[in-house]
Amino acid sequence: CHEAAVSIYCSMRNRGLAHWALVSTLSLLGCCLVYSLTGVYGFLTFGTEVSADILMSYPGNDGVIIVARVLFAISIVTVYPIVLFLGRSVMQDFWRRSCCCVCGPQALADPSGTWVRLPLTVLWVTVTLAMALFLPDLSEIIGIIGGISSFFIFIFPGLCLICAVSVEPMEPRVKCCLEAWGVVSVLLGTFIFGQSTVAAVLELL
């Protein structure tokens, strides 16, 4: 749920910077462990022939793989509303700011009511469903999106940490360590974004 980091932070009882840094770091390390183990086992099993979606490399009639695919589908279904909510919130905020610039502050009375939320939700669901139904192969899109996801996993959290450190009272040593971690996170995310995006674009060409 790295895309929902802001919502998760808002739902926490203890919103201290130290607690949030611990939660986000442990989550990141957990994701890195799972992803790394999945990639290593896929490469050891199939070598260079492993599919980008590792489940596609296994036979479809294997009971364990069927369970894995069902669990993966459940995770996608449960994450979809969170991503939809966040994406719709961004579009609503853009709508609110646009109305404010065009019509003045009175346009902010209720610019994000049901008459805005419902069309945005229908549009979002329709577009994603149409892509899933009519695009023959989503691997190219997933490859490009995979590079963009480094912004949400590394770059944006690193920038938020650097900004938060500047306003939170803390010891100089702790502040220096957190700033260094934020810089490393941004640099690592930039590298991953560049490498994966270039690889995806080269595959398309």
| pLDDT tens figures, 89-143 | 878 877 777 766 666 555 555 544 567 788 888 888 898 888 878 877 766 677 7
- 142 and 110 within one domain: no
Largest CA distance in the chain: 62
- 50 and 64 within one domain: no
Cα–Cα dist 199/147, whole Å:
9
pLDDT at 24 over 70: yes
Number of domains in the chain: 3
- For residues 112 and 92, the answer to whether their CB atoms sit within 8 Å is yes
pLDDT at 189 over 60: yes
- 62 and 130 within one domain: yes
Mean pLDDT of all residues in 140-160: 77
- 130 and 140 within one domain: no
Domain that includes residue 97, residue range: 58-134
- 116 and 66 within one domain: yes
pLDDT at 69: 87
Among 89, 105, 134, where does a domain finish?
A: 134
Cα–Cα dist 133/122, whole Å:
16
Cα–Cα dist 86/187, whole Å:
25
- 197 and 167 within one domain: yes
Query: DSSP code of 112?
Result: T
- 193 and 160 within one domain: yes
Among 39, 54, 69, where does a domain finish?
A: 54
Cα–Cα dist 158/189, whole Å:
9
- 64 and 35 within one domain: no
**Crossing angle for the helix pair 172-204 and 17-46, nearest 10 degrees?**
30
pLDDT at 3: 64
Phi then psi for residue 168, to 5 deg, are -90, 135
Q: What is the pTM of this model?
A: 0.56
- 109 and 65 within one domain: yes
